[in-house]
Amino acid sequence: MLSREDNELLTRVGPGTPMGELMRRYWVPAAFSHQVAEPAGAPLRVRLLCENLVLFRDGQGRLGLIDERCPHRTASLFFGRNEAAGLRCVYHGLQFDVAGHCIDLPCVPQLSPEQRQSVARELAVKAYPCTEKGGVVWAYMGPPALQPEFPELEWTLVPESHRFATRHIQECNWLQGLEGGFDAPHLTFLHAGDAEESRKVVPSFYEVMATDFGFIVGTGRDLGGDDIHWNINVMLMPFHKIISSIPHAAHVWAPIDDENTMLYSINFHPSRPLTDDDLKREKAWEGIHAENIPGTDRAIQNKDNDYLIDRAWQASGASYTGIKGFGIQDCSIQESMGPISDRTHEHLLATDSAIVKIRRLLLQTLRDHAASRPLPGINPESFRVRSTRCEMAQGLSIADQAVDLVRADRMTAAE
Ligand code: FES
Ligand SMILES: [Fe+2]
């Protein structure tokens, strides 16, 4: 279990909260580039880290992510006219550029040029810098002086043809998603019926290590041979997971607010385009991706319809859950823990040791941030890693080698 105070510290992400401020030190995904592809096209509402924003590409192709609320009388800029120089509020015509400056005040023609300038200064809106990487618009919402370079996140570096990405809203706090992503024992149960052979064995060894990018979770299974079979998973700050599979995969748990998360799911191949076969598998929606209600970020299988659970399928034993899709199985169970899981009610078991250590590491990172100590994942090169697997003799710890192994796996991809 976790104390109420620590649960609050880890889960709350609004402005001014410790975790919210920590996340604001990193680039966070705001939308897919294709959602705002057209210059002067329709703006997009974006809710990120409890802030309501509007994303738009102005007529000159520049991206702006600004406060949704017009500073004049609080109308929504989502309804704005997207013009060459910026977004214009349709209530009284104020216009804002991508940096949030008020550049036109047509409703008060009587102002002198000096008055106009000073009023415009007062009316500037909050604006966050954006960059496009890997088909995603990323925002930096932290202190301008501390803006880091964009990290070398592998799936954002491959050509578009090598990547397949979707997103959908997970209706719970981000930490339930992240913890689920690093909860190895659940693979043997929740996903049973789909899981590969080796995962039918509950892991008996757990190691968690802090690194310069985030942390590593090693999970060892005794498959009956001389060696222990280790899965070595990387967590990249503040909410990325790379999944060791072919093609490779990744998740990003980007908080919309405290009780909703935008889960980005990605398949990618470092050195070749994804094939029709690769894509056919993913578009059957049985893997990590979810099929959405058209035109929305809400999965067709959602909590209002109990994720279309099929009790007969569950009873047959062919599926442990009766719920279709790896990703939806995860969402269903993580959402079932409540919008923000009350971890004071937990009874942790020995197999939760990795989860306990992950929480301790995140709490330590919050303390490091508060004390202005260096943070993991700020150096862009630190992300040059990939989750991997290895065999190791019984009785040996992976701690000494884990960092080398996840770096080496990424290096092989470069060839
Ligand atoms: S409320 Fe936006 S211009 Fe008046
Ligand atoms: Fe899972």
Amino acid letter, residue 292: N
Cα separation, 88 vs 96, in Å, equals: 6
Contact 241, 249 (CB under 8 A): no
User: In terms of pLDDT, which residue wins out, 337 or 245?
Assistant: 337
Percent with pLDDT over 90 in the chain: 89
pLDDT recorded at residue 317: 86
pLDDT band at 414 (very low <50, low <70, confident <90, very high): very low
Among the atoms of ligand 1, which is closest to the Cα of residue 94?
Answer: 3
* Range 285-307 average pLDDT: 97
pLDDT tens track for 128-177: 999 999 999 999 999 999 999 999 999 999 999 999 999 999 999 999 99
Among the atoms of ligand 1, which is closest to the Cα of residue 74?
Answer: 1
What's the mean per-residue pLDDT of the chain? Answer: 95
Which protein residue has the closest C-alpha to ligand 1 atom 3?
92
Cα separation, 14 vs 412, in Å, equals: 39
Instruction: Write down the pTM of the prediction.
Output: 0.96
Which protein residue has the closest C-alpha to ligand 1 atom 1?
73
pLDDT recorded at residue 413: 52
Q: Who's near 110: CB < 8 A, 6+ residues apart? A: none
**In terms of Cα–Cα distance, which of 237, 239, 278, 276 is closest to 383?**
237
* Range 91-105 average pLDDT: 97
pLDDT band at 415 (very low <50, low <70, confident <90, very high): very low
* Range 236-241 average pLDDT: 98
pLDDT recorded at residue 195: 52
Among the atoms of ligand 1, which is closest to the Cα of residue 92?
Answer: 3
- pLDDT at 197 exceeding the cut of 90: no
Contact 208, 231 (CB under 8 A): no
Cα separation, 57 vs 42, in Å, equals: 8
pLDDT recorded at residue 196: 62
pLDDT recorded at residue 6: 98
* Range 269-291 average pLDDT: 94
Ligand 2 centre from 359 Cα, in Å?
Answer: 18
Ligand 1 centre from 182 Cα, in Å?
Answer: 46
pLDDT recorded at residue 411: 80
Ligand 1: residues with CB < 6 A are 70, 72-73, 75, 89, 91-94
- Side-chain half-sphere exposure of 130, counting CA atoms within 13 A: 27
